[in-house]
Amino acid sequence: RDFLAAAEPFDLPTIDAGLRRIGERATSNSKAGPFLGTARLAITRQQVSPPLFESILALGRPRTLRRLDEVITLLAHSAVA
């Protein structure tokens, strides 16, 4: 979320490179796939969707961040319950 909030320029190459880099760091085997799959579900609300990075651009930064915030809030509340 922080990366997408601050990414400049907010364009396909920046989003692609940044999210792949984060995904590779987030997994033990340096593969971004699992992270990107989770991001896809949170952002598009679908397990199968048009390409993730293009979807982020189509939704725009405000809507993408709003969707991520909704998922973060939902997960925080379910962890407490």
Distance CA 9, CA 13 (A): 9
Query: pLDDT tens, 21-73?
Result: 999 998 888 889 989 999 999 999 998 888 999 999 999 999 999 999 999 99
As a CATH number, domain 2-80 is 1.10.10.350
| pTM, two decimal places | 0.86
71 vs 69: CA distance, rounded Å: 5
Burial of residue 39 (number of CB atoms within 10 Å: 0-12, 13-18, 19+): buried
